[in-house]
Amino acid sequence: MGKNVTWARRWVELSAERIGESRELLIDLDRQIGDGDHGENMDRGFSAVVSGPGLSEAQSGADVLKYVAKTLLSTVGGAAGPLYGTAYLRGAGAMPEDDLISQDVANVLEAAVKGVQARGKAVAGEKTMVDAWLPAVQAAHDAADEGGDVVATFAAAASAGHAGSEATVPMKATKGRASYLGERSIGHLDPGSVSSALLLQAAADAASEVFAESSE
């Protein structure tokens, strides 16, 4: 079995762990500027993903991401379900049949965020999950263009995603429920950007486990 499916499964497993560990944090962040259900919804969704049969039945990386998309769409409430579901579905469409190379990493992440933007209509600077994803995509393209391998490209994306999430603190929300707070949304982390950063780091950690030996 190819490395793509091994990586995708590991990404999902690590994602479920990280979201579970951060459930209360995400709930607290969402209470501050939203309705407080982001952590619970994301944990429920990824718990369903790892407990369902689709993960082991998947024959390719694209199959794994399609299964994640379908499961999140059916189990995650609020805005997060459709947004993340679309991200994984679009990402699946960009997955190559052959083992990932660094440019593929950038393309998969770019397809994912374009799906989020198509569904949610958000652009940079509006204090949403997009503010983690867009810097991650740019960093991945830059790393790939500079000759970085798959592990380095994912690592660059994860680092930029975390920085992008942190950069939402001084922003005023203009999308979603947080936008109702206006100026009062300033000074808080966007919970969707935090969960996005967690997922990007999980992708990078999975890549370091699965692809590291091929890049040495």
Establish if 134 belongs to a structural domain. yes
pLDDT in tens, 80-121: 999 999 999 999 999 999 999 999 999 999 999 999 999 999
Cβ neighbourhood burial of 1 (10 Å; 0-12, 13-18, 19+): exposed
Taking Cα atoms as reference points, which of 95, 89, 101, 199 lies closest to residue 148? 101
Establish if 215 belongs to a structural domain. no
Q: What pLDDT, on a 0 to 100 scale, did the predictor assign at position 1?
A: 61
Is residue 189 within 8 A of residue 165, CB to CB? The reply is yes
Q: What pLDDT, on a 0 to 100 scale, did the predictor assign at position 177?
A: 85
- The number of domains in the chain is 1
Establish if 61 belongs to a structural domain. yes
Range of the domain at 40: 3-210
Establish if 12 belongs to a structural domain. yes
Q: DSSP for the chain?
A: --HHHHHHHHHHHHHHHHHHHTHHHHHHHHHHHS-S-HHHHHHHHHHHHHHSTHHHH--SHHHHHHHHHHHHHHH--TTHHHHHHHHHHHHHHH--SSPP-HHHHHHHHHHHHHHHHHHH---TTSSSTHHHHHHHHHHHHHHHHTT--HHHHHHHHHHHHHHHHHTTTTPPP-STGGGGGGGGGTTS--HHHHHHHHHHHHHHHHHHHHTHHHH-
pTM score of the predicted model:
0.96
CATH number for the domain harbouring residue 116: 1.25.40.340
Which residues of the chain fall short of a pLDDT of 50? 215-216
Establish if 115 belongs to a structural domain. yes
Q: What pLDDT, on a 0 to 100 scale, did the predictor assign at position 213?
A: 61
Establish if 216 belongs to a structural domain. no
Q: What pLDDT, on a 0 to 100 scale, did the predictor assign at position 11?
A: 98
